[in-house]
Chains A and B, each alone.
Chain A
Amino acid sequence: MSTAKEEVRQILEVIPDDVTLEDIQYHIYVRQQISGGLKDVEEGRVLTEQEAELRMEKWLEP
């Protein structure tokens, strides 16, 4: 399991040299969101496809 510092280092390696602090913040945010999602999956905070579709149905009604 990589540490937070390593994760940030990894991000810095793949982004262009002329980025702003705001850009870096954004990429860290993305990384955080993904970690959160993976944790949700691991801990069973998930829905079946049917449940998910049922929830979204209200947006599709005319």
Chain B
Amino acid sequence: MDRDSIARELDEIAQFIGRDSKFYAAAFVREARGAARSLKRFAERGRVVPEVADPEIRELFVSSYRLVYKNRWAKQGSCPAANPGSPFDYADRRPVSIETSALAPARQDVIELILSEIVVPHKSGSSLHLSNHMGRIIPPKDPRR
């Protein structure tokens, strides 16, 4: 694998979306970038990845993809309000708190399960405000649908 596998994955996804629409590819890249940047200030906004069940390994949803990152502060309780470094800032291995580790495609049924547990910061007009589902686990849909 290359040194730059993370960016390459993002690139591949953008290329895949870009075959249909350059507009949506750009929107995806912006969303992924925005999600990664938001982790500088809100490292704990992602939910713990259920497949790994480690408080350090968390994820955010970007379109229909799962942006997985590692929050090194998670095991020491709360993370500092303003973390140094950034999700992509691995070159500097000092107290970089967040590491984006992998992008895996998510499926709709999994997303529903996830959104029911994630604490989505309320933004007015955001379709992500799912207070009705909070605290309730929605089982995956019938796979034969």
Given contacts A36-B5, A59-B28, 5 further A-B contacts (CB under 8 A): A30-B51, A45-B3, A46-B90, A49-B87, A59-B22
Number of interface residues of B (CB under 8 A): 46
Q: How many A-B Cβ pairs are below 8 Å?
A: 119
* A48-B3 contact given A11-B51, A20-B143, A30-B66, CB 8 Å threshold: no
Bitwise, B84-113 to A at CB < 8 A (1) or not (0) is: 001111111000000111111001001000
User: Contact at B53–A37, with CB atoms within 8 Å?
Assistant: no
B interface residues, Cβ below 8 angstroms from A: 1-7, 10-11, 14, 18, 22, 25-26, 28-30, 32-33, 49-53, 57, 66, 68, 70, 86-92, 99-104, 107, 110, 139-140, 143
Nearest CB in chain B to that of A27: its residue: B51
